[in-house]
Amino acid sequence: MKKALLILVLPFLQSCATIGMLPDDVSKIDFESEEGKTGWSEYQQVETFYGYNAEQIYSAAKIGLGNSGFSLRKANKSKGFVIGEHGMTAHDWNIIAAVYFLEVGETTKVKIIAEGSKDIGLSGDVTSDGWTGKILKGMRLHLNDTYQTILKVNKSDIK
């Protein structure tokens, strides 16, 4: 009986996305690789943030993940990454997402990798749900709200 239960449960446990699936250092990340759907349930997106340093991006990455429904699981500013986990959705047991960042001159490159569970499901792989875009949007909102000043315009100057 125990063996039968183990045989039934083991494939489900192996299909879950885990933190170990993602690199734990920005030096292992290729910012020039393919974007979009890059695996069974893996999605990648790269963006360059102009005028923001690694410290600001690190903070924005944590907030972007949190605002997208991810719980912080692992973060290391000196290694250039923040990893979060999203619980069960209608289509996935769980989703793991990582934000990698690398300061290059006046810019900071960011790569987001989202991994969903590897189950087949009734509707196939539908992990994406725009996770990478949602995280980037949360980052942009935080950066704009926190670090950008609002310009005050004198209406008489516009004429």
What CATH number is attached to the domain comprising 83?
Answer: 3.30.530.20
Average of per-residue pLDDT across 90-95: 70
The answer as to whether 11 is a domain residue is no
Q: pLDDT above 70 covers what percent of the chain?
A: 67
Q: Is 127 exposed, middle or buried (0-12, 13-18, 19+ CB in 10 A)?
A: buried
| Mutual angle of helices 54-67 and 131-147, in 10-degree steps | 130
Number of domains in the chain: 1
Please report whether residue 26 resides in a domain.
no
Which of 37-51, 108-122, 140-154: highest mean pLDDT? 37-51
Mean pLDDT throughout 31-48?
88
% of the chain with per-residue pLDDT over 90:
53
d(C-alpha 35, C-alpha 100), whole Å: 14
C-alpha span between 49 and 72 (Å, rounded): 22
Give the residue numbers spanning the domain of 62: 38-148
What is the distance between the terminal CA atoms of the chain, rounded to a whole angstrom?
83
In a domain, 30, yes or no: no
